[in-house]
Chains A and B, each alone.
Chain A
Amino acid sequence: MSEFDVEFIDRSEDDRDARFVVRGVTPAFANGIRRAMIADVPTLSIDELRVIENSSVMFDEMIGLRLGLVPLTTPPGEFEEGETVTLALDVQGPATAYSGDLVSADGMVAPADENVPIIDLKESQRLELEAEAVLDHGKTHAKHQGGVAVGYRHLQTVEVVGDLGEFADDDPQILRGVIEEDGELVPTEEFGNDLRNRYPGKEVRVEDVPGAFVFDVETDGSMSAPELVLEAVDSLYARADELEEAVQL
């Protein structure tokens, strides 16, 4: 695989969102990264419950389903696939059980968000359980997906080709994504996604930059967006190596 370079445009403070440009890759590889981020990067999710007491209004199975969807922090490389971590929950009503009430046996693993409501408990209702979180892939179950809003677009260049005629239609020229202007990257939100605001009275030509893709990545909090991307690329390489070994038998 040849070299490719990565340039960050945006990163949120908590590192859950990121936007970056990758250059020198084929569309197939770009899509491979996207798919790997969704389905191939393993994360921890609750997969088994031992319900000690559940006098709430919901069945154990329904509470299990909700707990399964709580994102848990998963430090990359620390766990093997199939490895488990035990968490415990004990809430006495009247109160709402939140994801933050889950107590983990492992210091590295905790709910990514503390404010996910699990169930509202009334007077004298109680929820007490132990849960096993397991490391698995997004292709096994969507609860194991690390990347939740992952996509990419072509990087585009905008070139001024002339002036608009005096009586030309003043139609909006909507463009979403990131444009490149003399080597500078400009998110289209800066000019309201409308090229008219940036080039008033000009006729422009928009073209894709070959081999350059703008990725938008958002994770569920189980790891940071840069970690997710690196894990995804690693998993692609691992699969390529696996294939190489398999065909050289």
Chain B
Amino acid sequence: MSYKCSRCKRDVELDEYGGVRCPYCGHRVLLKERSRDVKEVQVE
């Protein structure tokens, strides 16, 4: 799962041990990035 740190804007990979925290700057607010997949949308 890839996230982005909201303070230092670097990409962050989380694992199950580190908890929710940026390994570079220690910030605890991470943003989830939109997936790179092509998304199919049905126009209603």
Contact = CB atoms under 8 A, between A and B. Distances in A.
Interface in B1-44: 34, 38-44
A104 B43 CA distance: 18
B41 A61 contact: yes
Contacts of A101: none
Interface residues of A, number: 15
A93 interface: no
Contacts of B44: 61, 64-65
Contacts of A52: 38
Contacts of A61: 41, 44
24 contacts: A46-B43, A47-B42, A47-B43, A48-B40, A48-B43, A49-B40, A49-B41, A49-B43, A50-B38, A50-B40, A50-B41, A51-B38, A51-B40, A51-B41, A52-B38, A54-B34, A60-B39, A60-B41, A64-B41, A64-B42, A64-B44, A65-B43, A65-B44, A68-B43
Interface of A: 46-52, 54-55, 60-61, 64-65, 67-68
List the 6 closest A-B pairs by CB distance, nearest first.
Answer: A68-B43, A64-B43, A49-B41, A51-B39, A60-B41, A64-B41
